Chain A
């Protein structure tokens, strides 16, 4: 099974370890991982800004790079959600490309969903000492149906105790450019979340999207919390934090 890893631009630029953790997990699950070397962005930033003209060439590039794979997997509910649920709308006026977009959408998966429901893995290489709480990213939860998958995998990590925080399904305040355009409102949303993380007593906040993690880690640190670890689910499952 040839799995194309869509690293996502945020992981590429900000935290490459997540991409390598994803490769480790996919390979441990028996997949042959293919990483297109020229990949960049799925087109979501211009698409959500109302700039379809700029989103289109980026989406075509993704389709060209990944349509030869059996699956496209991304360590992000947001980017995989863009490809799976929004490319159809993006290419609505283009018959030829909309068929190619639909074919790619059908084989696009969020990482933990792919590990659980396609590779059907039950053991993970990582280990972690401490309490972890999981934040459900909006696109993963509401576009990709990711809810139980990361929790099943996290519970399989030796030494890890999973605790649920209040309002784990409420938005962290990121929303892409929203976090910059409406920084004050965004910060308040993050603040509510930070309070729930603190109340949960977790040592680490874990999520499946780097956008949420940067948003929440940035606010936690500004609030003076320098100890709560903020980790991507792939890093925890692959064992990167304990290495």
Chain B
């Protein structure tokens, strides 16, 4: 996907003033946050389950090469082919080559965020083949001129029912529908035709299971089931970090994934696909490929933000992020928005292309406390801030302010007089009401709010004066 993260501030500004988006975001927040809270109360031991889920993900990352080798061996034994993509471009090249080998004219696709990284749909179309997205949200975005997703599990969450209704009427040439149920039925009727005529099914992969060589898909619409079993060829694409050792581990993670994502105790569909269709079996693809994608992940694994690879893509961090809730996913300018995106995007596309993202957080740690695999997101954002600071990527004024503050705060004999002078000047600026409306170099603050003026005397001077006045206390 084209990277637009360098325009974060402008994009956020536009969205803060988009009344329709603001309404949609409020609806979304209510749904996700409230439903998750209820679902977590139902769980006997949320913290204990979180610890177990974190342990699974950490075990994977500790020996990632071993689990990947085991996955490849078992998947191959079941008749599948395991391929590795070092770059996003490799993903596209592999899919196109597979499609050509099997004479594919039309591909159908269930949701895959990894494929958004490489804009796979464009590559398939450029190779002269048709591709149809079957996840309802992704389908909506596709027929709207490949609008980028704004959320990792609800890619079209930024759209209202009315916007979708208008889009369907325009695209399908059908009368406008007001009920969501009717819109779903319309999408289903359109998509059915594609399921039956496609030669290639492309899916993501929530988990690759090492002990069985299976791919696990978690969906609510059932589209992944049809996508992966009706066409004769199935390609599952996911990141190297998505491997887990055992089905038992999948069970542990599944106790938290749907609850964290949508507040469901279990998703409507859970597909575990193992190997190609065997003699006597009725369902399944005749040819099965796994594309295991690096695209920056091994660099994350070797970095000090490796915990970001524990992510199981539930979206809870963004759903609960006060910044995301107000600016929406498109502001972040790439595939993964919100707190996890603010860590992954700079790592995958280069910190220099996404400098604002690690800074655009209050470090409130709401993301950290809801994360089902306990990724310390504020700590990771701070580590990226360190890379920016050490790499000379911060403005000179910010660097000078920090250096100046520390220099002064280390020298109490100077700090005292300097702050006494400073607070008196600010006090005078505040006038009778005690409010500063405009501050040189502080426009970021005073454009939107006043600064309550200081009292005019520092604590340190008042405290010293109080002690000097006090009668000597016998010890």
Contact = CB atoms under 8 A, between A and B. Distances in A.
Interface magnitude class on chain A? 35 or more
Contact of B405 (A15, A46, A174, A190): A46
Contact of A178 (B362, B402, B454): B362
Interface string B440-474: 00111101111110110111101110000000000
Interface string A148-181: 0000000000000000000001110111111111
Interface in B146-192: none
Contact of A138 (B326, B362, B451, B452): B362
A133 interface: no
Interface magnitude class on chain B? 35 or more
Interface string B9-45: 1001100100000000000000000000000000000
Interface in B392-414: 394, 398-399, 402-403, 405-406, 408-410, 412
A214 B410 contact: no
Contacts of A37: 412, 460, 463-464
Contact of A180 (B9, B362, B412, B442): B442
A100 interface: no
A61 interface: yes
A189 B326 contact: yes
Contacts of A221: 435, 449-450, 452
Contacts, number: 194
Contact of B387 (A50, A188, A213): A50
B333 to A, nearest CB: 15
A179 B405 contact: no
A218 B447 contact: no
B322 interface: yes
B269 interface: no
A174 B362 contact: yes
A185 B360 contact: yes
A99 interface: no
Given A38-B412, A182-B9, A188-B16, A13 B322 contact: no
A67 interface: no
B320 to A, nearest CB: 9
Nearest to A61: B410
B423 interface: yes
A46 B379 CA distance: 14
Which 9 A-B pairs have CB atoms at the shortest separation, nearest pair first? A175-B362, A50-B385, A187-B448, A218-B449, A183-B444, A180-B444, A16-B459, A38-B412, A50-B389
20 contacts: A9-B409, A12-B419, A13-B419, A13-B454, A16-B457, A17-B455, A19-B459, A41-B405, A41-B406, A46-B406, A47-B382, A49-B394, A54-B406, A139-B365, A171-B364, A178-B361, A178-B362, A183-B443, A185-B12, A219-B448
Given A9-B409, A55-B406, A185-B323, 20 more contacts: A7-B460, A12-B419, A13-B459, A20-B459, A37-B412, A40-B410, A50-B383, A52-B386, A138-B365, A139-B365, A142-B365, A142-B366, A142-B369, A182-B444, A189-B326, A214-B452, A218-B451, A219-B449, A221-B450, A230-B452
